[in-house]
Amino acid sequence: MSATTPARRPGGRSAKVRDAVYTAVGQLMGEGKADRITIPLLASRAGVNPTSIYRRWGDIDTLLEEVAVAALTKDGDELPDTGSLRGDLSAWARIVVEDITQPRRTRYLRAMVSARDEVATCPCWEQRRSQAETMLNRARARGERVPTEQQVLDHVIAPMYHHVVFGLAADQDYASRLVHDVLAMA
């Protein structure tokens, strides 16, 4: 880097805009205004120019999907690699349940679910599928018997999200029981 080239700030303005917009989405969702979120409303709440939102996300649906994935998954975190499928799934389920039971995430999850119509795909679900696939493939390579990806999603992940959405108990013990049950299917 030359002496005349300014150093880039980590994250910089783009990260500040993203964070402000994500916060505004979370606030509006938490206030029960999920069905009335517009780009001008978000821009006003976030203190950014609407053009910044249009330039980065294009439309409200793309933005809301991105925020949903960020709010409901832990992108970038390393998946557990304990050396066994039981260990991997148990650690992963504990991470997921601990994350989605945080009050801020719970509020967002409930607001997002109430605002959505039935959809064919959900980026959050697809990310969880990809994570499950990675762990199952590692277990297969070690010669372990494994349930299917769908069984892991239907019998571990879906029940945890269901419990959170409907205000039922979801904790690490519950997550461990779900893992025990799905491994019995292998």
**Of 113, 140, 122, 115, which Cα lies nearest the Cα of 33?**
115
pLDDT at 117: 64
pLDDT at 116: 63
pLDDT at 99: 87
- Give 147-152's long-range contacts (Cβ < 8 A, gap of 24+): 147/182, 147/183, 147/185, 147/186, 151/182, 151/185, 152/89, 152/182
CA 147, 127, 93, 134 dihedral sign is positive
* Domains parsed from the chain with CATH numbers: 12-71 (1.10.10.60), 76-183 (1.10.357.10)
pLDDT at 5: 45
CA distances to 55, 112, 116, 172 from 29, in Å: 22, 7, 12, 27
pLDDT at 125: 82
| Apex 15 CA angle, 12 and 20, nearest 5 | 125
Per residue in 40-60, pLDDT (tens digit) is: 999 999 999 999 999 999 988
pLDDT at 3: 46
**Neighbour count for residue 145 (Cβ, 10 Å):** 10
Which of the residues in the chain have pLDDT under 70?
1-12, 32-34, 72-77, 111-112, 114-123
